[in-house]
């Protein structure tokens, strides 16, 4: 791997991968030494003590500091002795990392229950709903410009647009979003589910595209997106009996259950490699709309 032009999230993701590799996947000694020499200086260059980091990153910081102290990062060479000490020291953090993973899975399970409850309440209330799923992410060729601060700002803007319920967000009756970080490429992204009143909105493929284009505009061209609601995707899901996006009818139990399954994807407890490795103070990684019964009385069903 070339370590040139690595962005902040990708550097941190690679540190996470290194730590997990040493502790759980039996990465070779030589590979560990190579990764340390490639990642230590870039990480120290982008380290920000105003951010929160996952336990794997804390383990890396504490382990390396105990070995090289406050030596300038550009002077540090991870030779055989330092690498072995790093491996030995890192092992003392294994329990903390496992505990964080258990806590994350529990929280994801709670989020999943809450989201499933929202979807079932909405499908009980409306005769038909339009489910639109869009993945909001960043183009690979420009991802080195992206920081966690920028991602947070972009997400605030898209959530504000959703709350305003104008343009492509008009007639949204429910929504949920989940922030993740790729386990392989470290890319920051958001899974966004929008649930429209099916009596007011159709053309889900168009809406997914419009939402993606809003994201591109918000990010100043850095962003890209994946629209799950294309005809091709829906046809594939339909062949498998798994179509849970597009128009979902209350009187079709299979459609409703598939829609619940789609929503559950946002909060799968077994996607622990996708959790954020760094975040801002107070930054939420999951959110959903509330189900307000009072104002829904007498709505068009």
**pTM for the model:** 0.90
Report pLDDT for 143: 82
pLDDT, tens only, 21-35? 999 988 999 999 999
Query: Quick check: helix, strand or coil at residue 19?
Result: helix
pLDDT, tens only, 146-182? 999 999 999 999 999 999 888 999 999 999 999 999 8
Interaxial angle between packed helices 80-90 and 55-68, expressed in degrees from 0 to 180 and rounded to the nearest 10: 140
**Chain centroid offset of residue 143 CA:** 15
Query: Quick check: helix, strand or coil at residue 76?
Result: coil
C-alpha triplet 239, 135, 1: angle, nearest 5°? 110
Q: Is residue 208 pLDDT above 80, yes or no?
A: yes
Q: What is the mean pLDDT of residues 198-210?
A: 94
Cα separations (Å) of 74 from 45, 80, 188?
Answer: 10, 18, 28
Interaxial angle between packed helices 80-90 and 8-24, expressed in degrees from 0 to 180 and rounded to the nearest 10: 80
């Amino acid at each position: 791997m070339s370590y040139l032009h690595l962005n902040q999230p990708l550097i941190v993701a690679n540190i996470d991968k290194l730590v997990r590799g040493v502790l759980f996947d039996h990465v070779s000694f030589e590979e560990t030494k190579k990764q340390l020499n490639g990642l230590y200086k870039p990480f120290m260059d982008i380290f920000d003590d105003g951010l929160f980091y996952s336990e794997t990153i804390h383990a890396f910081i504490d382990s390396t500091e105990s070995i090289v102290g406050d030596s300038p990062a550009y002077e540090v060479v991870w030779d055989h002795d330092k690498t072995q000490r790093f491996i030995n020291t890192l092992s003392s953090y294994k329990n903390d990392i496992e505990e964080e993973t258990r806590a994350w899975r529990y929280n994801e399970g709670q989020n999943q229950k809450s989201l499933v409850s929202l979807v079932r309440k909405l499908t009980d209330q409306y005769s038909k709903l339009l489910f639109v799923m869009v993945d909001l992410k960043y183009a690979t060729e420009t991802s080195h410009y992206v920081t966690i601060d920028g991602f947070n700002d972009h997400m605030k803007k898209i959530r504000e647009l959703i709350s305003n319920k104008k343009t492509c967000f008009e007639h949204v009756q429910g929504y949920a979003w989940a922030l993740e970080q790729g386990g392989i490429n470290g890319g920051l992204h958001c899974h966004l589910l929008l649930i429209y009143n099916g009596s007011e909105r159709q053309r889900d493929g168009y809406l997914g595209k419009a939402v993606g284009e809003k994201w591109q505009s918000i990010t100043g061209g850095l962003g890209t997106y994946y629209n799950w609601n294309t005809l091709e995707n829906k046809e594939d899901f339909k062949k498998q009996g798994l179509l849970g996006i597009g128009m979902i009818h209350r009187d079709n139990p299979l459609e409703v259950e598939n829609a619940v399954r789609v929503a559950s994807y946002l909060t799968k407890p077994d996607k622990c490699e996708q959790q954020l490795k760094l975040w801002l103070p107070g930054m939420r990684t999951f959110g959903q709309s509330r189900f307000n019964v009072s104002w829904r009385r007498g709505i068009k069903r």
